[in-house]
Structure 1
Amino acid sequence: MHHSDLKERDENSADIFIELIAQGLGKAPGADLWRHLMAVDLSFFQSPLAEEIRDEGRAEGRAEGKAGAILRVLDRRGIDVSDEDRERIASCDDLDMLDLWLDRAITAASASEVFVED
């Protein structure tokens, strides 16, 4: 059964099923996949969990976009970036840190200057 099928049948039941499955998965490896799948279109759900999943999806998208921008700026400027630094940038979900790194990437002479501690 697809989540849109649930919506057509009974929105309240769909909401309950989504919440129960998410709670049952807890921190299991499948929990992130479940949240990702349910984030596709939860606009019709108004539960706190649905809103949390939408917020996580938006934040994750912003982080991915900023990480991509940092790597693009460094690439276009001809700055070598190690696989380790690429992973550090790509895996970061701190939007403030990503903003700082993006600002630094514009003028940094090397990738290490992007990460310098203040």
Structure 2
Amino acid sequence: MDLSFYKAPLSEEIRNEGRAEGQAEGRAESRAEDILFILELRGIAVSEDVRGRITGCGDNETLLGWLARALTAPSAEGLFSDE
């Protein structure tokens, strides 16, 4: 059986891209969990709509902004006040 395809540079590039995408998704999931955790610790109620918006977001920059706002936002909806 010829396994040369798996050692080819193109295959390696595809695997690396897949790893990078997986790592970005993992960071997004972690940030979403952190946002929800902070809101929970602060005693702020989170509606299902807000929870879905947070957990459904895959943009790490957006999530980082929401994470910063979670520290001081008066409500869960306040995370999105600048949008």
TM-score scaled by structure 1? 0.62
Q: Is 2:69 aligned against 1:104?
A: yes
Q: Is 2:40 aligned against 1:71?
A: no
Q: Which amino acid aligns with 1:62?
A: R
Corresponding residue number in structure 2 for 1:12: 4
- How far the C-alpha of 1:99 sits from its partner, in A, is 0.5
Note closer, same or farther for the CA distance 1:59–1:108 as it changes in structure 2 (3 Å cut): same
What percentage of aligned pairs have identical amino acids?
A: 44
Gap regions ≥5 residues in structure 1: 1-8, 17-45
User: Within 5 A, what are the aligned runs for 1:1-118?
Assistant: 11-13=3-5, 15=6, 47-117=12-82
Aligned residues: 81
Note closer, same or farther for the CA distance 1:48–1:112 as it changes in structure 2 (3 Å cut): same
> How many angstroms apart in 1 are the aligned matches of 2:4 and 2:70?
47
- How far the C-alpha of 1:60 sits from its partner, in A, is 0.5
Task: Flag the structure with more relative contact order, 1 or 2, with Cα contacts below 8 A and sequence separation at least 6.
Answer: 2
Q: Deviations over 1:93-116 (max 9, x none)?
A: 111100100000001110111111
> How many angstroms apart in 1 are the aligned matches of 2:45 and 2:52?
14
Q: Deviations over 1:28-77 (max 9, x none)?
A: xxxxxxxxxxxxxxxxxx62110110001100010000000000000110
> How many angstroms apart in 2 are the aligned matches of 1:58 and 1:86?
22
